[in-house]
Amino acid sequence: MGLVGKKAPKFSATAVVNGGEFQDDFSLEQFIGKKKVVLFFYPRDFTFVCPTELLAFQEKLEEFEKRGVAVVGCSVDSHFSHWAWLNTPKDQGGIQSVVYPIVADFDKTIAMNYGVLAGEYTWDEDGNWGFEGEPVAYRGLFLIDEEGKVRHELINDLPLGRNVNEALRVIDALAHNQKYGEVCPANWNEGDDAMTETSDGVADYLSNH
């Protein structure tokens, strides 16, 4: 069941911030009333697709910040693993230069609460715990507004990397709706015409396109 329209699940966990500093009790609560948040999950540190995504978010970080949006990454690795990856040069498979927070979901509860854990715990008839599936997070992305509500979510399977520009486009669409009260049609980009939520507004838009 999706989270869109609901309050984002709360969590408090250790994160690595500013490219190498440990922060205990990191929480999204610090952004309530101040910023939107893009919270994205990825499967593992020291893998193949994951560094391309984390570095892509870093390359566009200024664009997110201009829009008043905090970027936060999260995986089921420990904060020690995050720190090691952040201190590994890019030409050696690392993500050195990434400065936004990366949360350690070592007990997998954050991924579970956001519905992106790629498997589930099981309990057999002998009373033994097991796990079916992959004990990592799918590539989930959640846009959380200033009130802590999830306004957009996207969940990709493990092999499928995301489009960072699409995340920016959705942020622009939400900001346009918040400012003008208009809704954004298919393939809308900043500067395009939007629509009012009335039959006349829709008719006017369609007659001009």
Q: Please say whether the beta carbons of 137 and 156 come within 8 A.
A: no
CA dist 42 and 32 (Å) reads 24
Amino acid letter, 182? E
Annotated active-site positions, please? 50
The secondary structure of 56-103 as a DSSP string is HHHHTHHHHHHTTEEEEEEESS-HHHHHHHHTS-GGGT--TT--S-EE
What is the phi/psi pair of residue 19, to 5°?
80, 5
Residue (of 14, 164, 20) closest to 94 by Cα position: 20
Backbone Cα Rg of the chain:
19
Strand partners, 41: 74
Query: What is the length of the chain?
Result: 209
